């Protein structure tokens, strides 16, 4: 058996100091290469302190524009009881701010092209309606984070006129879009300007102080200097302890600023496994590397879809086919926090338009609410599956074919969960090399019980065994 957490080895304080200082003077690409080699057992002291409520939490991405016919905050509010019933803990709202008109893409523009950081998009409603939404979310025992775009603004953002010095200029002194992107509808911000940093932090503080939100999901976080996020987190925590999610993967994001980071790499790996282009060996390699790369209490976010993947790369069915449910179960049982995107619980099977109105059809797809509810409740009920170092480490279980069968256990105190996947398109005969405790473990999706005898698993079958 392989216990991934035991792969961690200690670096000396001197080595850590040298690596961190080297990172401060590197480009984003070079910094990621350096951080990729960083082993992290003893620098967990550098990691942020999590709010207690994320220990067993999941996260749900809300696309307000497409969620309802009107695309308003008020109409979305009517869906809160269903989300509570589903077992959702954290609601991540895609950007709620006014969308830029200059150089706009499509008829409605990108929600990530922001005209004013401290106002609500009038298409969505008013600031008072948003405050009411936040209050109701809290009353129902859920939490809410806003999407934040700190790297760039719309071309007609209020700062363009009032603070042109906040923006990056090309060699001719002209405003410019972020380098090496096709984001023609936005302008790059220049974080060498200290006044920009102050104004951006003030805008972040505004929504926490004025509307009582619980934190932020930060778009392309690594395109903004990490020391900005470190300072922002410190200032936000003075108002209330917050939860911060980085859309990035470099290790240093977790030292002082972010509770959780995206695992884009694992998402892409799941797509490849589903297509037969990668195998269980690649999954093993990923977790071995991930265990060495991040602080012990860093939380990684796993997902089968989100707004980017759905629109630009395809629906879950397009990308993962018959493996879709297996990948959802994997995302909910490995160490990390699972994400559900708007409509997944209703079997969303179309690419939602990014720049136009394109309402989710809540009746067209397979009803997956019972499936997702069982997964989200599983995490709450089993401490072994909790997030970060509140949960149990993952121990790989040796099987009769470790290139096709991915089996592991997670254990915390007296709680043990065994998880087994057939990651192929064919039936497999499986035998586990495992010593079972004097307890009976039953698969939550069937009547099967766990034992040492050979058994059959159908194509893309998954089993999650919990104590009877």
| Tens-digit pLDDT profile for residues 310-363 | 999 999 999 999 999 999 999 999 999 999 999 999 999 999 999 999 999 999
Rg (CA), the chain: 22
The answer to whether 95 and 149 have CB atoms below 8 angstroms apart is yes
For residue 465, report the phi and psi dihedrals to the nearest 5 degrees.
-95, 125
| Residue 304 DSSP code | S
- Is the pLDDT at 263 greater than 90? The verdict is yes
- What pLDDT is attached to residue 297? 87
pLDDT tens, position by position, 164-205: 999 999 999 999 999 999 999 999 999 999 999 999 999 999
Give the pLDDT band (50/70/90) at residue 39.
very low
Task: Check residues 4 and 65 and name the one with the higher pLDDT.
Answer: 65
CA–CA gap between residue 442 and residue 449 (Å, rounded)? 4
- What pLDDT is attached to residue 44? 47
Question: Domain map of the chain by residue range?
Answer: 46-391, 396-467
- What pLDDT is attached to residue 3? 73
- What pLDDT is attached to residue 1? 62
Residue percentage of the chain with pLDDT more than 90: 86
Which residues share a beta bridge with 378? Answer: none
pLDDT tens, position by position, 304-323: 999 999 999 999 999 999 99
Report which listed range, 375-379, 386-390, 444-448, is most confident: 375-379
The answer to whether 318 and 352 have CB atoms below 8 angstroms apart is no
Average the pLDDT over 116-144 and give the result: 98
CA–CA gap between residue 132 and residue 134 (Å, rounded)? 5
Segment holding 84, helix H or strand E: helix 80-86
Neighbours of 369 (CB within 10 A): 16
Average the pLDDT over 66-90 and give the result: 98
- What pLDDT is attached to residue 130? 98
Average the pLDDT over 59-88 and give the result: 98
Give the pLDDT band (50/70/90) at residue 429.
very high
Beta-carbon contacts of 287 under 8 Å, excluding residues fewer than 6 positions away, are 4, 334, 394, 396
For residue 234, report the phi and psi dihedrals to the nearest 5 degrees.
-60, -40
- Is the pLDDT at 108 greater than 60? The verdict is yes
- What pLDDT is attached to residue 29? 47
Give the pLDDT band (50/70/90) at residue 4.
low
CA–CA gap between residue 335 and residue 411 (Å, rounded)? 11
- Is the pLDDT at 99 greater than 80? The verdict is yes
- Is the pLDDT at 5 greater than 50? The verdict is yes
Alpha-carbon distances, residue 170 vs 118, 157, 173, 208 (angstroms): 28, 19, 5, 35
- Which is the CATH superfamily of the domain at 396-467? Golgi alpha-mannosidase II (2.60.40.1180)
Within 13 Å of residue 74, how many CA atoms lie on the same side as its CB?
A: 8
- What pLDDT is attached to residue 357? 98
CA–CA gap between residue 94 and residue 114 (Å, rounded)? 12
| Residue 415 DSSP code | E
Average the pLDDT over 272-280 and give the result: 97
- What pLDDT is attached to residue 7? 52
Beta-carbon contacts of 31 under 8 Å, excluding residues fewer than 6 positions away, are 23, 250, 252
Pick from 9-18, 27-36, 107-116, 150-159: least confident = 9-18
Q: State the Cα torsion 421-427-433-436 to the nearest 10°.
A: 60
The model carries a pTM of 0.92
Total residues belonging to the chain: 468
Residue percentage of the chain with pLDDT more than 70: 90
Q: Do domains 46-391 and 396-467 have the same CATH topology?
A: no
The answer to whether 317 and 366 have CB atoms below 8 angstroms apart is no
CA–CA gap between residue 224 and residue 122 (Å, rounded)? 28
- 280-293 helix and 28-36 helix, angle to the nearest 10 degrees: 100
- Which is the CATH superfamily of the domain at 46-391? Glycosidases (3.20.20.80)
- The β-bridge relationship of strands 455-457 and 405-412 is unpaired
- What pLDDT is attached to residue 48? 85
The answer to whether 248 and 221 have CB atoms below 8 angstroms apart is yes
- 369-381 helix and 324-333 helix, angle to the nearest 10 degrees: 20
């Amino acid at each position: 058996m392989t216990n991934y957490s035991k792969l961690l080895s200690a670096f000396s304080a001197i080595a850590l100091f040298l690596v961190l200082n080297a990172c401060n003077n590197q480009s984003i690409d070079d910094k990621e290469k350096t951080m990729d080699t960083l082993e992290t057992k003893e620098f967990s002291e550098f990691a942020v302190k999590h709010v207690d409520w994320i220990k067993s939490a999941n996260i749900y991405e809300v696309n307000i524009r497409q969620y309802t016919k009107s695309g308003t905050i008020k109409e979305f509010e009517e869906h809160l009881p269903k989300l509570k019933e589903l077992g959702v803990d954290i609601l991540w709202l895609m950007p709620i701010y006014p969308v830029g008109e200059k150089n706009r893409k499509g008829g409605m523009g990108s929600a990530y092209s922001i005209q004013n950081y401290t106002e609500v998009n009038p298409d969505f409603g008013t600031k008072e309606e948003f405050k009411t939404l936040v209050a109701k979310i809290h009353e129902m025992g859920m939490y809410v984070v806003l999407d934040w775009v700190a790297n760039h603004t719309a071309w007609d953002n209020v700062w363009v006129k009032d603070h042109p010095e906040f923006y990056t200029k090309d060699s001719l002194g002209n405003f410019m879009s972020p380098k090496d992107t096709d984001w023609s509808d936005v302008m790059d911000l220049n974080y060498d300007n200290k006044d920009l940093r102050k104004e951006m932090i003030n805008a972040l503080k505004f929504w926490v102080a004025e509307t009582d939100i619980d934190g932020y999901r930060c778009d392309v976080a690594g395109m903004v200097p990490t020391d900005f996020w470190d300072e922002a987190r410190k200032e936000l925590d003075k108002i209330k302890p917050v939860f911060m999610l980085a859309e990035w993967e470099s290790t240093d994001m977790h030292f002082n600023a972010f509770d959780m980071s995206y695992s884009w790499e694992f998402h892409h790996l799941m797509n490849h496994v589903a297509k037969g282009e990668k195998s269980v060996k690649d999954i093993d390699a990923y977790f071995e590397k991930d265990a060495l790369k991040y602080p012990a209490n860093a939380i990684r976010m796993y997902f089968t879809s989100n707004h980017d993947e759905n629109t630009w790369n395809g629906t879950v069915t397009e990308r993962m086919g018959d493996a879709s449910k297996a990948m959802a179960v994997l995302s909910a049982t490995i160490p990390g926090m699972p994400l559900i995107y708007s409509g997944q619980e209703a079997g969303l099977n179309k690419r939602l338009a990014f720049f136009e109105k394109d309402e989710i059809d809540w009746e067209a797809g397979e009803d997956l609410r019972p499936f997702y509810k069982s997964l989200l409740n599983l995490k709450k009920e089993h401490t072994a599956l909790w997030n970060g170092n509140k949960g149990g480490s993952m121990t790989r279980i040796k099987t009769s074919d470790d290139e096709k069968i991915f089996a592991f256990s997670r254990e915390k105190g007296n709680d043990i969960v065994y998880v087994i996947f057939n990651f192929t398109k064919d039936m497999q005969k499986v035998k586990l090399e495992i010593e079972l405790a004097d307890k009976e473990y039953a698969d939550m999706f069937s009547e099967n019980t766990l034992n040492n005898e050979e058994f059959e698993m159908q194509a893309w079958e998954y089993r999650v065994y919990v104590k009877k």
